[in-house]
Structure 1
Amino acid sequence: MMPVPDPHPDVFDVEWPLRMADIDRTGRLRFDGAARHIQDIGQDQLREMGYEDVHPAWIVRRTMIDLVAPIEGRDFLRLRRWCSGTSNRWCEMRVRIDGRKGGLMESEAFWINFSRETQGPSRISEDFLAGLQRTTEVDRLRWKAYLKAGGREDAEQVRRFPLRVTDIDLFDHMNNSVYWSVIEDYLETAPDLLKEPLRVTIEHDSAVALGDDLEILLHTYPAGSTEKFGAELTDRTVRTLTYVVGDEVKAVASVFGR
């Protein structure tokens, strides 16, 4: 991922403690906990820049998180956030999470500025965009999906994921961090994946709403078996988790192991 442009006055830099609600039984910062931190620092940066009321609503299209080294409990986190690419309606934002004990998680997310009135992408104000562009030279960012959904007919496993009222956010959708709790459920069955650096990516196609009968389809592609995720990843085993409601794909997650 793009390195931190440090020192740089437009890198938003904050610290806060790692809380009990975000760690697993071993004390590791979970992926869903990291996703909440990524959302929280984004809201804090908007407030700090004075644009929380101008651009209050953002929809995430893709989030990529690299677990480089586990961040463990009773640690203190340093989070740095900056822009790595822009267009006039969306941007990519990097967040690096460092633990004082040496743990590290890095992320990049594709965020769409959303209009509650039109229910669609909205133009970013020129002055706000100018601030974002101070940390990147990419100003014609395009959306391109990287992940491929798996089908029900050849899934290794189909598992229901019951939704709770507390999973639903301001947009009446399943909150982004809840998608990452599905990843943690899977990692519980594959703990060896956490022994090495791990990349997990989630791409969203459409929203999951309360009352939807959400199912998770699991597929595994052994190393050397497919080029569907790019020729540079053919040496890795890739697991996909496809989020479906009936026959409609809502999101796809890929776990890139070694």
Structure 2
Amino acid sequence: MTFGSRAREFEMAPKPDAGRFFSTVRRVRLGDSSPGGRLRLDALVQYLQDVSNDDSRDAQWSDPHGWVVRRTVLDVYEVAEYLQEVQLTTWCGGLGSHWAERRTQVCTLDGKVLIDAATLWVHIDMQTMKPLVVPQDVVDVVHETTQGRSVSSRLILKGATSPTHIIEWPLRFTDFDTLGHMNNAAYWQVSEELFSMYPEIRRNMRAIVEHVNPVDPGTIVQVEIEEKTQTDVSVVLRSDSQLHATMWLGLRR
């Protein structure tokens, strides 16, 4: 199976009727916007990180910070625009032994859904970076919205690709966070570069990034692009020694 066929099989869990939800409002600012005034995907993923951390601290989780992203899936129906206020509402869409899927919707203030997001967060020991079991107090808080749904940490985007383009991706100091690794939002800057090559993808888009091995400072990263069609693009980020991330950008259906 191709990246595209696997990506389209992912099921976005629907919003449940009951349970814990957390909402906040953000205004799309100048630094979040493309030259055309569209909310960029890397800025959107920063919003998702922020609302996730705000929710976990508001719920008084025993460990609100020891979580890293394994996968983010975005379904973009309409873009948010410069200076527009949007509401982000987040909840837990599923649980695994050492991870949880956080669902987030980005809506207009009158409730129209612009973007659906599903992010798989893995609970880790901040000293060893090894996975830890999801704490029971977290399970107690979020179990109602999961509706018993279990989620896997297995990668969706698997298999060989045949690159049609290869570019070197320069790293910057600002790409790295307090863990000393390239922040997950920085990976989405690659998608923004690709939009200039594949503008048709922006219509009714699904985009996925999966993180395999962290990118450390000094790594020489190459972006390998496989163009099936103008609306079916697979991407691999790798260095000489490691696969770092896989991506897919295309139409949802």
Q: TM-score normalized by structure 1?
A: 0.87
SS at match of 2:195: helix
Change (3 A) 1:212 1:246: same
Q: Does 1:221 align with 2:228?
A: yes
Change (3 A) 1:191 1:140: closer
Of the three residues 204, 216, 219, the one matched with 2:211 is 204
Of the three residues 12, 16, 31, the one matched with 1:5 is 16
CA contact (8 A) 1:219 1:241 kept: yes
Partner of 1:38: 48
SS at match of 1:120: coil
CA RMSD of aligned residues (A): 1.9
Structure 2 residue identity aligned to 1:65? L
CA distance in 2, matches of 1:255, 1:22: 20
Q: Does 1:189 align with 2:197?
A: yes
CA contact (8 A) 1:242 1:252 kept: yes
CA contact (8 A) 1:157 1:218 kept: yes
Q: Does 1:179 align with 2:187?
A: yes
Larger RCO, structure (CA 8 Å, separation 6 or more): 2
Give the Å deviation of 1:4.
Answer: 2.2
SS at match of 2:72: strand
SS at match of 2:14: coil
CA distance in 1, matches of 2:128, 2:201: 42
Q: Does 1:27 align with 2:37?
A: yes
CA distance in 1, matches of 2:223, 2:102: 27
Structure 2 residue identity aligned to 1:30? R
Task: Tell me the matched-pair count.
Answer: 240
CA distance in 1, matches of 2:194, 2:183: 18
Counterparts of residues 159-170 of structure 1 (less than 5 Å): 159-170=167-178
Partner of 1:245: 239
Deviation string, structure 1 residues 208-228 (Cα, Å, up to 9, x no partner): 0110001100002249xxxxx
Partner of 1:64: 73
Segment of structure 1 superposing worse, 131-140 or 239-248: 131-140
CA contact (8 A) 2:57 2:64 kept: no
What is the percentage of aligned positions where both structures have the same residue? 26
Q: TM-score normalized by structure 2?
A: 0.88
Which residues of structure 2 form unaligned runs of 5+?
1-11
CA distance in 2, matches of 1:244, 1:104: 32
CA distance in 2, matches of 1:25, 1:202: 23
CA distance in 1, matches of 2:204, 2:150: 31
Q: Does 1:107 align with 2:117?
A: yes
Of the three residues 133, 144, 159, the one matched with 1:134 is 144
Partner of 1:147: 157
